Structures are given as C-alpha cells and as structure tokens.
Structure 1
Amino acid sequence: MDIKPAAVVIPKETDHLEQGKYGPVFPRTPACYGFTIIAEVKPGRAEAIRGYGYTLAKALEGDPDLLAPLKLHYLRWVLFDDDTRFMYQGIFDTDFDKYTEDAIMLFGRAGVSTAFENLVGFPEDWRTNPEAFIKFVREHHCPSFIEYGEYPYVTADEIKKALRIKHSLSEMLDQLQ
C-alpha cells in the first residue's frame, strides 16, 4: 500500500456543500474531519478552563477510552490574548454532526461539564438543548482553508491497529533472538 501525503483546499463558500442536520457538512480531508472554535472567555474564567484540562487529563489516566466514542485523532486547547480568548481544535473521524451529538451524549452520560461553559455566549441549557450547543459551535467555528495529511484519510482506529501489529511483530522478533 502506497500512502502519499495529500492536501485539500476547503472552499470559503459552503452553499454548495451537502447540508447535514446542523448546517454544511465540510468535506473529509486528508486530516479527516475537524473544527476549530475561537471564543471569548468569561472574565476571570481562564483558570477554570485550565483546571478542566487537568481534570480531563486525570480522567483519561483512569479511563483511557473515555473519549473513544468521539473517534479523536487530536485535541488542542489554547488560551491566548492574555487569557481572554480560547481556541478548541479537534481532528476526528466522523462528520461534524455526529461528533457534536456524540460529545453531548458522552458528557451528559458521564455527568461532567464542559470547558465551553466558561465561554461567553455558551448556552446554559446545553445538556438538554443540543441545537443551542451546536449553534454556539457553528457560530464560533473558524473553518480552515487547507488541510494536509502526511498519512491521508487514515482513521484513528486504523492507526491504532497498525501500532498493535507493529508492537506484536516487535515482540515476536524479540523472542526469536
């Protein structure tokens, strides 16, 4: 199998894109699916966002599969402009609608809050009003205009499988020595 790096330019206009349940379905790119949210932090809430990051990291230590339903590749949180703005960037294998619905379900089922609660304009009723949650995300989404993948269109599950195979082969070869 020959996997060549690839890039895709994403159009600025989205009227021609397929419409999903909550708006345009951005195309799957070599980096899979994803979105970037940039929003204003409620005054004095930057430390709460950082604290939520520590809480999430600790929860993942206890349950490494906690976020598995989201089919994430990467998640990046950034506080910037003197902690007044927040960027959430996620790369995942499902389209926007499914990812967002899965996130609401996951956090609701786990009974946990979201760092987004510390952002200006985030709906207080997000657990019971997925449309308001999605509206907030869509309004704060800053679409990329080009995405590149060194190993394009490969899912997180395929990567994990390849790493398990590599590990098994390494163990086997070690035993032969």
Structure 2
Amino acid sequence: MAGSEPDWTKPAAMAIPPEGYLELERGRYGPVFPRTPACYGFSIIAKVKEGREDVVRAYGKTIEKTIATSPEALAPLKLHYLRWNLFDIGSGLHFQYMGIFDTDFDKYTEDAVELFSATGITTVFTNLEGFPEDWKENPSAFVQFVREHQMPSFLEYGEYPYVTADEIKKALRLKASFSTMLDQMQ
C-alpha cells in the first residue's frame, strides 16, 4: 500500500496482530491504529454502571432523534457506521461500541469531545464504569478511557476498501444526477 493508492475496485482484507497495529507508530495519545480496508475504527467494551441500562438505551433514542432533526449533527466525526450492543457476560451488563470512520483514532476522539462540548449532548460513555467525570475539560482522560477499553480487531474486510464516507456520498450524488439526466432524456 505504501506509495500507491489502494484499489477500491477489489475487496480487501487485513489481518491485524493482537496489539492492534502492524508497525508501532506513536500518535498524540499512544499507538496509531492502522487504516484498514474498512477505514479506521475501534471497538470498546466496558461495564455499564449499575442501574443504567435504561439510560443507555434511551441514549440510542436521543441519537436517533438528533439525527432525524439534524442529519449532519455527527458529520464532524466522519462516521461510516456505529453499532452499539448491550450484553451480560456473567459479571454484569456490558456495552460495546463499534465505530468505523475516516479519521485516525486520536482525531476522532478529539473531535468527539469537541462535538459533545459544543452541542451540549453528552456521551453515552458517562454511563460506563471508570469513565472520567472531567472528560469535557480533559480530552486526554477521554482518550485514555477509550484506549483502555479498546478491543482491537484481528481481521477487517472491505467490499470497497479504503473508500471514505465523503467519496461514497459523492458517488451516490453522481449516480442520482445521472439517473435524473437519463429520466429527462426519455
């Protein structure tokens, strides 16, 4: 991949070592996780504070309503996908956050803190054990929590590898424009 643009026309897969990276490269807050065929991302698993399941589930509804009202609300995060799961692994309820996005880990977490601080929306992570109460004023504590609870992937696959969300949206706008043009020609 070095020195050349990845070929988005062919599916690609990348096996990742247990450390979560192929070569140790230091970012602002620790190791830089690689860009994979799925772009960048991380998965966090953390225990939910006792009695907070309903609050966590309600937060999903809050995000749903926020996006319905303001579709670009999370745009600064350059997200492709988010998946949230709740499950009990025998020691209490746990939350899993899986996000795929276009920026590196450090930028994503900094942007998340900035976005939440600017909008007044809080993060669902406040319902997780060990999450720092000063996270808005202390982005490095937010990042440290995320890194401590990060569960690196060992395989990532992309049907259209290394393509950004903006590139996908641009291609879909182009497709819509061509469809409109063809419809007008009939």
Q: Shorter-chain TM-score category?
A: over 0.9
What CA distance in whole angstroms lies between the structure 2 residues aligned with 1:2 and 1:103? 28
SS at match of 2:60: helix
TM-score by length of 1: 0.96
Aligned to 2:180: 171
Aligned to 2:155: 146
1:3 aligns with 2:12: no
Which structure 2 residue ranges, 5 or more long, are not aligned? 1-6
What CA distance in whole angstroms lies between the structure 1 residues aligned with 2:24 and 2:162? 19
> What code does the residue aligned with 1:27 have?
P
Aligned to 2:82: 75
What CA distance in whole angstroms lies between the structure 1 residues aligned with 2:51 and 2:110? 29
SS at match of 1:37: strand
1:28 aligns with 2:35: yes
Aligned to 2:52: 45
Residue 41 to residue 171, structure 1, CA distance change in 2 (3 Å): same
What CA distance in whole angstroms lies between the structure 2 residues aligned with 1:93 and 1:112? 22
Cα displacement string for residues 77-128 of structure 1 (whole angstroms, at most 9, x for unaligned residues): 1111187000000000000000000000000000111100000010111000
Which structure 1 residue ranges, 5 or more long, are not aligned? none
Aligned to 2:136: 127
CA contact (8 A) 2:22 2:34 kept: no
CA contact (8 A) 2:16 2:22 kept: no
Superposition CA RMSD, Å: 1.5
> What code does the residue aligned with 1:95 have?
D
Which residue, out of 120, 144, 149, partners 1:111? Answer: 120
What CA distance in whole angstroms lies between the structure 2 residues aligned with 1:56 and 1:35? 19
CA contact (8 A) 2:46 2:128 kept: yes
Cα displacement string for residues 24-64 of structure 1 (whole angstroms, at most 9, x for unaligned residues): 10110000000000000001101101111101110111110
Aligned to 2:170: 161
What CA distance in whole angstroms lies between the structure 2 residues aligned with 1:135 and 1:2? 33
1:59 aligns with 2:59: no
Cα displacement string for residues 124-171 of structure 1 (whole angstroms, at most 9, x for unaligned residues): 110001111111000000000110000000000000000000011111
Residue 153 to residue 70, structure 1, CA distance change in 2 (3 Å): same
SS at match of 1:138: helix
CA contact (8 A) 1:72 1:156 kept: yes
What CA distance in whole angstroms lies between the structure 2 residues aligned with 1:23 and 1:9? 21
Give the share of equivalent positions with the same residue, in percent: 67
Instruction: Please identify, of 78-87 and 10-19, the stretch whose mean Cα deviation from structure 2 is larger.
Output: 10-19
What CA distance in whole angstroms lies between the structure 2 residues aligned with 1:124 and 1:166? 46
SS at match of 1:20: coil
Quote the offset at 1:2 in angstroms.
6.6
